[in-house]
Amino acid sequence: MVSKLITFHFTEYKRSKVTIVGVGQVGMACAISILQSNIADDVTLIDVMEEKVKGEVMDLQHGSLFLKTSKITAAKDYSDTANSRLCIITAGVRQKEGESRLNLVQRNVEVFKNIIPNLTKYSPNSILLVVSNPVDILTYVAWKLSGFPSHRVLGSGTNLDSARFRFLMGEKLKINSTSVHGYIIGEHGDSSVPVWSGANVAGVNLQSINPEMEQQDPDGWKEIHKKVVDSAYEVIKLKGYTSWAIGLSVSSLTQSILKNLRTVNPVSTLVKDMHGITENVFLSLPCILGSPGVCGVLRQPLQQRESEQLRKSAATLWSIQKDLKL
């Protein structure tokens, strides 16, 4: 009947394929966000838990009527991930309640040793976006294991921290978070750096209105950064994990890359030789994202204390990284 109904002309070819490694809560939130934003024409999911991947993909495919992504695939092995433009890695063991990100490290390095070489084998020209924690170290690990040039390996880094920061500031000022601008850079997590000197609304620098902001801080602005740092722990305590916000943040980065938007996002990139950092570490700085990956890094003027903090994070990360068995 098919041949009676339809005369086929030519077959399609893929243009914007995204592979997501890991179908836990984070991976699936990334998947649904990307699917609902209509930015990829092919989404492939892969995980060690085969039945789970099959079930998740089936569930997504059943929603095809409401989506505009023509191909959603459950990879049986890495060959199914071939020719991806972007590979998003969410696989890895999850932060336990109270566990700091740095404690996850060696557990996740072993996982990456299985994943990264396989991804690069089948998608040698792709961009790797690392989400798994501790993201800055794991982005370094992915870079080392992949052999890719550093502009093609980035970590979701403080993109989410900055989104949370803007949300909280927006709440305080009763303004939509998209109209409040502020960057959190550096290490994703406890030692992230809020760049107060850049925080502004309509170009009005908040620090210029309130020079006390960081020190005495009568208004409770420093609290906001603390709340951002505590966010993940809080949400994990309440619902067991975080998913939605990170999914949305990853989808936003995916869009910039796939559509070559050249938006500026705080993501984890190789920061050696910036802000006096001498180690081969990845930290979040405002980066221009496009099809090649990280197209450029903004030379953001930082105050003495801020760049010191970055260098301190770099040293901490390096002290862990140098002992990793890669």
Partner 1 sequence: MASVHEKLISPVADCAPEQPRNKVTVVGVGQVGMACAFSILSGNYADELALVDVLEDKLEGEMMDLLHGSVFLKTRKIVANKDYSVTANSRIVVVTAGARQQEGESRLNLVQRNVNIFKHIIPQIVKYSPNCVLIVVSNPVDILTYITWKLSGLPKHRVIGSGCNLDSARFRYMMAEKLGIHASSFHGWILGEHGDSSVPVWSGANVAGVCLKSLNPNVGTDKDQENWKDVHKQVVDSAYKIIELKGYTNWAIGLSVADIIESLVKNLGRVHPVSTMVKNKYGINEEVFLSLPCVLNSCGVASVINVTLADDEVAKLRKSAETLWNIQKDLKDV
Which residue positions form the known binding site for NAD(+)? 22-27, 47, 108, 131-133
Q: Does the protein bind partner 1 through residue 10 (CB under 8 A)? A: no
Q: Does 13 bind partner 1 (CB under 8 A)?
A: no
225 binds partner 1 (CB under 8 A): no
**Adjacent-strand bridge partners of 181:** 200
Q: How far apart are CA 74 and CA 81, in angstroms?
A: 9
> What whole-number distance in Å separates Cα of residue 260 and Cα of residue 271?
22
- Given the complex with partner 1, which of 197 and 280 has the nearer CB atom? 197
70/196 Cα distance (integer angstroms): 43
Total residues belonging to the chain: 326
DSSP one-letter code for 132: S
Q: Establish whether the linkage from the previous residue to 211 is cis, with ω within 30° of 0.
A: no
Q: Examine residue 231 and tell whether it contacts partner 1 (CB under 8 A).
A: yes
Q: For this structure, is 151 an active site residue?
A: no
Q: Which of 62, 151, 188, 225 is catalytic?
A: 188
Q: Is 321 in the site for partner 1 (CB under 8 A)?
A: no
Considering only 14, 113, 191, 244, the residue that binds partner 1 (CB under 8 A) is: 244
Among 235, 264, 274, 297, binds partner 1 (CB under 8 A): 235
| Residue 301 binding partner 1, by CB under 8 A | no
Cβ-contact 285, 269 below 8 angstroms: yes
Residues 245 to 274: which contact partner 1 by CB under 8 A?
A: 245, 247-249, 251-252
Q: Which of residues 167, 183, 196, 282 is near partner 1 by CB under 8 A?
A: 167
**Stretches 96-104, 132-140, 173-181, 313-321: which one binds partner 1 (CB under 8 A)?**
173-181
Write out the E strands in the chain.
Answer: 17-21, 42-46, 71-74, 86-89, 127-130, 153-155, 180-181, 184-186, 192-194, 200-201, 204-205, 263-270, 282-290, 293-297
| Interface with partner 1, residue 281, by CB under 8 A | no
Report how far apart, in Å, the C-alpha atoms of 285 and of each of 32, 304, 316 are.
Answer: 27, 16, 17
User: Judged by CB, which is closer to partner 1: 215, or 238?
Assistant: 238
Q: What is the largest CA-CA distance in the chain?
A: 78
Distance CA 214, CA 237 (A): 29
Backbone dihedral angles phi then psi of residue 294, each to the nearest 5 degrees: -85, 105
User: Which residue's CB is nearer to partner 1, number 56 or number 306?
Assistant: 56
238 binds partner 1 (CB under 8 A): yes
Task: By CB under 8 A, tell whether 48 contacts partner 1.
Answer: no
Q: Which residues contact 197 (CB under 8 A, 6 or more apart)?
A: 205, 207, 301, 302, 303, 306
How many residues touch partner 1 (CB under 8 A)? 67
Give CA–CA dist 152/291, Å, rounded.
9
Choosing from 107, 121, 237, 299, the residue that interacts with partner 1 (CB under 8 A) is 237
**Could you tell me the CA-to-CA distances from 115 to 91, 104, 158 in Å, in that order?**
9, 17, 23
Is position 5 an interface residue for partner 1 (rule: CB under 8 A)? yes
Q: Does 172 bind partner 1 (CB under 8 A)?
A: yes
User: In this structure, are residues 157 and 193 in contact, taking their beta carbons and an 8 Å threshold?
Assistant: no
Count CA within 13 A, CB hemisphere, residue 224: 28
Q: Which is nearer to partner 1, 205 or 291 (CB)?
A: 205
Which CB sits closer to partner 1, 141 or 189? 189
Choose the binding region for partner 1 from 84-92, 103-111, 139-147, 158-166 (rule: CB under 8 A): 158-166
Binding interface with partner 1 (CB under 8 A): 1-2, 4-6, 8, 28-29, 32-33, 36-37, 51-52, 54-56, 58-67, 70, 160, 163-164, 166-167, 170, 172-178, 201, 204, 206, 209-210, 213, 218-219, 221, 231, 234-240, 242-245, 247-249, 251-252
Active site members: 188
